[in-house]
A and B are shown apart, each in its own frame.
Chain A
Amino acid sequence: EVHLVQSGGAMEQPGGSLRLSCAASGFNFDGYSMHWVRQAPGKGLEWVAVISGKSESTHYADSVKGRFTISRDNSKNSVYLQMTSLTIDDSALYYCTREYDSGWPNIDYWGRGTLVTVSP
C-alpha cells in the first residue's frame, strides 16, 4: 500500500525559510516522479513543482520559481521542498503527491498535507 508521510510544516515569518519532507513507502520510489501541490485556506489547488524519478529534471510554477527547490533522496525514499523568501501568499496546505504511471499531470496518490503559515 502506498503511503506518503509528510512533515515540516510550521509557522514562519515573511522572508523566512522552511523545508518540507515527504517519506514514501509501498512502491518503487525511484520509478516515479513526485509533485508538490498546495492549497491556500478556502482556495483551489495550485501545482508547485515536480521532480523526475532519478532527479534528471525539475519544473516549477512561476509563483515559486527561484525561491523553492524540489529535491529527492532515493536512498531514503523521500522528496523535499525547500522554500525560501516566503511570503504571506505561500501560506497553504502543501500536498506531497505521486505521479501516475502514464505521466504528468496525472496524480494518483496524495499525502495528508502539511500546513505552512507565513505570518508577521
Chain B
Amino acid sequence: SSELTQDPAVSVALGQTVRITCQGDSLRSQSAGWYQQKPGQAPVAVMFTQNIRPSGIPDRFSASNSKDSASLTIAGAQAEDEADYYCNSRDSTGNQVVFGGGTKLTVL
C-alpha cells in the first residue's frame, strides 16, 4: 500500500479560510476523500472522492486535487470546525484504502 502525508496541525482565525493538504503517490491516479473527527466521536465524512459533498455538510467545505496532492478548504472557519481531519484514497493498486495521518485543526 502507499502512504498519505498530512501536516500534523494547522490553525486558522475564526471566519478565515484554511486549507488542509494531503500528499501521496496514490493521489496521482486516485481521488481523495475527507473525514472530520471530534474528540470522543466517530469520524464524519465532509467530502467524498470526486469532490462529492455529503448531505448536510455546509458548502464552506470544498476540495480539490492536483497531481500528487489533495486539499480540503474551509471558507469562513467556524468554532465547530475545530477537529481532526483525515484524507483517504484507494492505494495505487486500487485494492486497499489508505488514510492520511490526520491534521488537527485549531480555530483561534
A106 and B42 in contact, given A44-B101, A46-B99, A47-B88 (Cβ under 8 angstroms):
no
| Chain B residues closer than 8 Å to A95, beta-carbon distance | 42-43
A3 in the interface, Cβ–Cβ < 8 Å? no
Chain B minimum-CB-distance residue to A111: B42
B contact residues, range? 20 to 34
Q: Which of A47, A61, A102, A107 contacts B52 (CB 8 A)?
A: A102
The verdict on A61 contacting B99 (CB below 8 Å), with A105-B89, A108-B54 known, is no
**Out of A44, A50, A62, A110, which one reaches B1, CB within 8 Å?**
A62
B45-83 CB contact bits vs A (8 Å, 1 = yes)?
100111010100000000000000000000000000000
Query: Within 8 Å CB of A46, what residues of B?
Result: 99
Given A61-B1, A100-B48, A112-B42, answer yes or no on A44-B97 (Cβ-Cβ < 8 Å): no
Q: Are B42 and A47 in contact (CB under 8 A)?
A: no
Number of A-B pairs, beta carbon distance below 8 Å:
65
A10 within 8 A of B: no
Name B45's contact: one of A44, A60, A108, A113 (CB within 8 Å): A108
Q: Is the CB of B102 within 8 A of A104?
A: no
Q: Which of A58-92 contact B (CB under 8 A)?
A: 59-62
* Total interface residues in chain A, CB < 8 Å: 23
**Chain A residues proximal to chain B, CB less than 8 Å:** 35, 37, 44-47, 50, 59-62, 95, 100, 102, 104-108, 110-113
- Please name 18 pairs of A and B residues whose Cβ atoms are closer than 8 Å in the assembled complex, sorted by A: A35-B97, A37-B99, A44-B84, A44-B102, A45-B88, A45-B99, A47-B88, A47-B98, A47-B99, A60-B96, A61-B96, A62-B96, A95-B43, A104-B97, A105-B33, A105-B89, A106-B33, A108-B54
- Listed in ascending order, the chain B residues whose CB lies under 8 Å from chain A are 1, 33, 35, 37, 42-45, 48-50, 52, 54, 84, 86, 88-90, 95-102
